[in-house]
Amino acid sequence: MKQFFRNNGGLLLVAAVLLAGVLMVGAYILGYDPLSGALELLATPFRAASSAVAGWTQEQYDKSFRYEQAQAEIDALRRRVAELEADSGLTRYKSLLEAARCDGIIQALSLADQLDQYHLSPKLLGPEGVAMECLNTLLADEDAELIAQYLDLSRYGEAVVAQDGGKLTSYGLVERADGRPIQGMACEHTNNEMEMM
């Protein structure tokens, strides 16, 4: 192989120079600047790196902004809970959070602001209690006790809660003051929150 390059090296060099010359003339005729192409090729990694750094910087800014926004929402919720605690409304608020299956700070704030639209019956902790309350409302106490022996109070109580649109929580029965059902409440508040944003 060394022998080949010794004998033909000059010819290969002349051929390479001629090829480069032909390419330059062709590029000049076509309006292509080979120096610009080479610089473009060298600049590509730097462009990609600057784009990646810009994207990372934007992502960090967005995280920082979301953190500040979340911190403000947490502080607002903390103040609202302190107000509810002072007004003895914390138990009703907790029952509402449970009934709504609250899973966000904005929804929790929205529910706190609308707390006066809900009633809590803390003595009604289960369907049997709801059934007996309903029977006692409709009948005299003695008659309610007599009929209760022959009823499935659990199923009857569940039916009454469903009919009235309430929710049983570990704090008692939660119902809306306007009589509308609580079942769609989580979606309703989430939609309202989206409109506020």
154, part of any domain: yes
Query: What distances in angstroms separate CA 86 from CA 91, 117, 136, one per listed residue?
Result: 11, 19, 34
27, part of any domain: no
Residue 143's domain spans which residues? 88-196
Buried-state track 49-73, b at ≥16 Cβ within 10 A, e below 16: eeeeeeeeeeeeeeeeeeeeeeeee
pLDDT in tens, 18-32: 877 777 777 777 776
pTM here is 0.54
DSSP string, 74-103: HHHHHHHHHHHHHTT-HHHHHHHHHHHT--
174, part of any domain: yes
178, part of any domain: yes
* SS3 (DSSP) at 73: helix
Reading phi first (left if > 0) and then psi (alpha if -120 to 50, else beta), residue 88 is in: left
106, part of any domain: yes
pLDDT in tens, 90-135: 888 888 888 888 888 888 888 888 888 888 888 888 888 888 888 8
38, part of any domain: no
Q: Is residue 184's pLDDT more than 60?
A: no
47, part of any domain: no
Domains in the chain, number: 1
67, part of any domain: no
